[in-house]
Amino acid sequence: MKAFFELHRDLPREGPGEPADIHWAAHIAATPDNAEMADVGCGPGADIGSLLEVAPKGHVTALDKVGQFVAAARQRYVADARVTVLQADMARIMNSYDMIWCAGAVYFLGVTEALTRWRKSLQPGGVVAFSQACWFTDAPSARSKEYWDREYPDMTDEAGVLAQVADARYEVLGTRRLSDAAWEAYFGPIDARIAALRPEADTALAQILDEAEEEAACWRAHRAEYGYLLTVARPL
């Protein structure tokens, strides 16, 4: 894990995303400008600023299990009273929120399990907005299928994600696919970090760099076959 964290040190974000995603989700959910929001699996805090933009009178509780990411998020927002950053388990969210935002991390629990657990942490009318990797085709290339069979064998298609939401007894308010720009916001900084680390990388780090390069190369070659689906859902 040391090599993984060396690669990810000081990266701006830990997965695909862009401010437009949050603005869209807040619009779909009619999020109030004084909303209480949770950023679950916040990583280094890439989405906190956009959450504050959609609810400037609100508050963001950002949480992650990884100490390195929590420290980075705290450093970003140490002077902002509207932000609380916690090292905590996403399976045990405290308090209640108008929006629970989870960018690319819901798969740790599974969609149905996460939504079921988080139901009790939503205020009346509150929503969960999450992005989840899924197939956009039922006939993926051998390369992308091999990659995802290894990385996330339970990955389903868009209809499968919506079925998992329904199993948790939520209604879907809207969905949209993350843009190419959202993916490059993640991969661009990783590309630069790999280039900086590669010349002096030991065997363990070189393997991690190779894996990160393959992740980016596979998506760039087969982006029409898979991506992230952003879903806004409310308990029934």
Give per-residue pLDDT as tens, 219-230: 999 999 999 999
Closest CA to 221 of 185, 174, 180, 190: 180
3 within domain boundaries: no
pLDDT digits (tens, 9 = 90+) for 98-145: 999 999 999 999 999 999 999 999 999 999 999 999 999 999 999 999
Query: Quick check: 135 and 225 in contact, CB under 8 A?
Result: yes
205 within domain boundaries: no
Tokens of 14: 């830990």
216 within domain boundaries: no
pLDDT at site 94: 87
Dist CA 90 CA 142 (whole Å): 34
- What are the φ and ψ backbone dihedral angles of 212, each rounded to 5 degrees? -65, -40
109 within domain boundaries: yes
211 within domain boundaries: no
Domain that holds residue 64: 12-138+151-179+223-235
Global pTM reads: 0.96
Q: How confident is the model at residue 164 (pLDDT cuts 50, 70, 90)?
A: very high
Give the domain CATH number at 41: 3.40.50.150
Number of domains, the chain:
1
Dist CA 95 CA 21 (whole Å): 24
87 within domain boundaries: yes
200 within domain boundaries: no
162 within domain boundaries: yes
